[in-house]
Amino acid sequence: MFVVTVTFQLKPGQKKVFLPLMTENAEASLREEPGCRQFDVCTDPDRPEEVFLYEIYDDAAAFQVHLETEHFLAFDRKIAGMVADKSVKTYRKVAQ
């Protein structure tokens, strides 16, 4: 299991345009990428310009495939001017 978390800090007034694009990307990832197991898009009313993603992939290679898909690349181009800051972190499950 390979987990990816992403935190977007949006520029003021961008959330209404950003969220539909983000949810479309998440849905396409789940539908079209066999290695994508979960893709949650989260917000908190107390932080209106922040969007948090929680993604689970089979492995790091499946995440790399995600980054190369047409739907992700199109999404990334569309949102480029909407994002003030972006933080990406990855995790691997501890072997039991």
Domain at 63, CATH number: 3.30.70.100
Q: How far apart are CA 46 and CA 13, in angstroms?
A: 15
Is 31 inside any structural domain?
yes
Q: Residue 93: its pLDDT value, please? A: 86
pTM above 0.85, yes or no: yes
Count: domains in the chain:
1
Q: Is 13 left (phi over 0), alpha (psi -120 to 50) or beta?
A: left
3-class DSSP state for residue 35? coil
Is 14 inside any structural domain?
yes
Token reading at 89? 């972190």
Check if the beta carbon of residue 15 is closer than 8 Å to that of residue 48.
yes
Is 73 inside any structural domain?
yes
Token reading at 10? 């949006």
Domain coverage including residue 41? 2-90
Q: Residue 27: its pLDDT value, please? A: 98
Is 17 inside any structural domain?
yes
Is 80 inside any structural domain?
yes
pLDDT tens, the chain, 96 aa long: 999 999 999 999 999 999 999 999 999 999 999 999 999 999 999 999 999 999 999 999 999 999 999 999 999 999 999 999 999 999 998 877
Q: How far apart are CA 85 and CA 96, in angstroms?
A: 35
- What average pLDDT does the structure give for the chain? 96
Is 95 inside any structural domain?
no
Is 96 inside any structural domain?
no
